[in-house]
Chain A
Amino acid sequence: TSAAMAAVCCRGFLSPLCGRLRAGPRAPLRSAAGTAAPPPLYDVVVSGGGMVGSAMAAVLGHDIHFHDKKIALLEAGPRKEYDRVPDSYSNRVSSISPGSATLLSSFGAWDHVCSLRYKPFRRMQVWDACSEAMIVFEKDDLDDMGYIVENDVIMSALTKQLDAVADRVEVFYGSRAVGYTWPLPSHTCDTSPWVQIELADGRRLQTKLLIGADGHNSVVRKEAEIKNIEHRYDQSAVVATLHLSEATDNNVAWQRFLPTGPIALLPLSDTASSLVWSTSHEHAAELLSMDEESFVDRINSAFWSNVNHSDFIDTAGAMFRSAISFLKPSGTAVRQLPPSVAKVDPGSRATFPLGMGHATEYVQHRVALIGDAAHRVHPLAGQGVNLGFGDIACLAHHLSAAAFNGSDLGSLKHLLKFETERQRHNVSLIAAIDVLKRLYSTRLAPVVLLRTWGLQATNALPPVKVRI
């Protein structure tokens, strides 16, 4: 599947613009003089006001070359903002990479996040349930590796920054797009060259560029008839807010690969952590329905129990480890012990199904996909929203340059540059995450041995680790 994905994503280099023939509904004929005024024309419309869509609109709104442009953001839900964080933590959190934090601070949103609530972490320890193999990520210079931020906090920060550019960005809350009409690439006499959007309440908009940020079931992607390679994992993720047995520095993110799926503990504060446990649908349902004490017990045993170890693997792993420490004395790090959990926030348990997806094209004439609309990954690597923020940084860069060149914003020329750059970056990462998920889904000795050695070797080799 990963190889197929890579093959499908290649395109002929000699004629990059060819082959994007539009197959959807045709553009409407221009109305005769005297009928209703044409729908309002925007330079960019972002469909989907989640973290990625809102950030995209905000970045463009703060771009100096978009000073005189009109941007619209369509969001089906209500406005999300608060001035003070509620006392309890939200159970949906994201691991924000330093690169994403840089993007958010480029238009002033990170300051709001910092003033609300966030938790930096310095270290990430990832280990196997079937062996002693472990890999530790940390930055040499004691910098933060990443930040755990509640999704609601990010949304609130983005809403504030959208307000700051309200003269350029118009946000339509409670508005769902129900239909898109696409223009012909080189339009003829009577057809409008713009994308037509119809909202649920009957209002219509026109735009020179439509950005689809409407999640993994993207309507924009479906209406544009862009093929999506998708795969449902037989897994659901269970999330919850947990309280630790004792207060600790809590600046480490923990992840253990169980045969049923990875379990992760992400720090929220010195006394609280967020749980993300990917497991089978049945087990997820079980975890959700059991009483709180049993739930906490299960979590602790998932992190601490060695029931999946076998002597054979342990010996083989130990041998490999001594070999490495002989060759590379600093290659084995100290194993820290994860904190133990005392209780779970009542009502914070929830579950959602997991899957993988990748759009074969990220762009078409006057359309671009970003975030989960373009690619959906397993949460095991904490990369989902960071990939989306990476898409934003790249697309905004190309659109800004196009605006400063006076180009037509919907032109495939610069949209293809965005697609090439991001596919090159995303495909290998998405494939790697998928491979990791499959690799760690088994107890079979040979696979465990391979991944044990692989993990130990990777832990010992700085160049490979830095790349990750």
Chain B
Amino acid sequence: QLSSFRFTVKRLFSASRSSVDSEEMRKFQLLAHKWWDEEGEFSALHSMNDIRVPFIRDSLLNMSSDYHLGNPLAGVKILDVGCGGGLLSEPLGRLGASVTGIDPLEDNIRTADQHKSFDPVLAKRIQYKSSSLEEIVEESMETFDVIVASEVVEHVADLETFIKCCSQVLKPEGSLFITTVNKTQLSYVLAIVVAEKIMGLIPEGTHEWEKFVPPEELERLLKANGFSVKAVNGMLYNPLSGSWSWMESTSVNYAVHAVKSGAQGQSSPADPLSEMEGEQPSATSTAL
């Protein structure tokens, strides 16, 4: 336990070397115990499960031929980066995956651990760790089949480092799923002005427009670090119904599925489309 204390101290003082932003951590500290109130501050994240879980599940099932519909993600090792209170880890665990959830904030991990403890099946399938991505790289090289980083990359300090670390802990041909917010005028109006200030759908100050990531930028970084982008889909939140849906345009929210290239460092031969995409500077969104 002394070592974990040292880790905590080290984390607080070495923000510049990691992708964790201490300002961001302070913001989430105050909300740590509110994760599991389905109608509270995190209600939009709860309802996002209705589209992001099927997205992850179906993308993985489409790439595999050996699965059982009663336990679709059995045998899949998933890393949930920035897992918060475990909102996404738990559904993935229920679908059979072995999930490791990491979050730099200890209070979040505590909430997540406590919530899963009542369900013996989940308690076994999910392990939470208070840690940043960089800190687990050494002990987890090429360990995971899947990484999910949902609503995280708009909060990290250094996106390229983050993606590099993802690549390191991911097995070859492993999948990376990212959901985040685009940096457009529309996203400023909807995600910050309307969502935070006017309707109070998420706590004020949750997002900073400067840190939003345009899909083109994300795709560029992914390709530069050995990933091939399989899908980019726009998402839209309807505040009246409290539900998410897919849409053509990525101007507000969007989701990305990328695959780490195989052991030889080349894209798999059955993938001529992505090679073509690489040659064109502007990425095209593919509808699901």
Contact = CB atoms under 8 A, between A and B. Distances in A.
Interface of A: 14-15, 17-18, 41, 64-68, 185-187, 189, 192-194, 403-408, 411-413
Contact of B94 (A14, A185, A406, A413): A406
B38 A192 contact: no
B262 to A, nearest CB: 29
A67 B68 contact: yes
Interface of B: 36-40, 47, 49-50, 53-54, 57, 68-72, 90-96, 114, 118-120, 240
A270 to B, nearest CB: 45
A405 B47 CA distance: 12
Given A67-B69, A403-B94, 14 more contacts: A41-B120, A65-B70, A67-B68, A67-B71, A68-B71, A187-B36, A192-B118, A194-B118, A404-B57, A406-B53, A406-B92, A406-B93, A406-B95, A407-B94
Given A67-B71, A68-B70, A186-B37, A405 B54 contact: yes
- Across the A-B interface, give the 6 residue pairs with the lowest CB-CB distance, nearest first: A67-B70, A406-B91, A406-B94, A186-B37, A406-B95, A64-B69
A205 to B, nearest CB: 14
Contacts of A194: 118
Nearest to B117: A30
B36 A186 contact: yes
A292 to B, nearest CB: 55
A186 B70 contact: no
A413 B119 CA distance: 20
Contacts of A17: 38-39
21 contacts: A14-B240, A17-B38, A64-B70, A67-B70, A68-B70, A68-B71, A187-B36, A403-B94, A404-B57, A404-B72, A405-B49, A405-B53, A405-B91, A406-B57, A406-B90, A406-B93, A406-B94, A407-B49, A407-B91, A407-B94, A413-B47
Contacts of A68: 70-71, 96
A192 B57 CA distance: 29
Contact of B69 (A192, A404, A407): A404
B172 to A, nearest CB: 26
Contacts of A411: 38
A18 B69 contact: no
Nearest to A168: B70
Contacts of B53: 405-407
A189 B114 contact: yes
A412 B49 CA distance: 14
Task: Give the most central of B49, B70, B72, B92: most A CB within 10 Å.
Answer: B70
B122 to A, nearest CB: 10
A467 B38 CA distance: 40
Nearest to A206: B118
A41 B69 contact: no
Contacts of B92: 406
A68 B95 CA distance: 10
Given A14-B240, A68-B71, A405 B38 contact: no
A75 B68 CA distance: 32
A256 to B, nearest CB: 49
Contacts of B54: 405
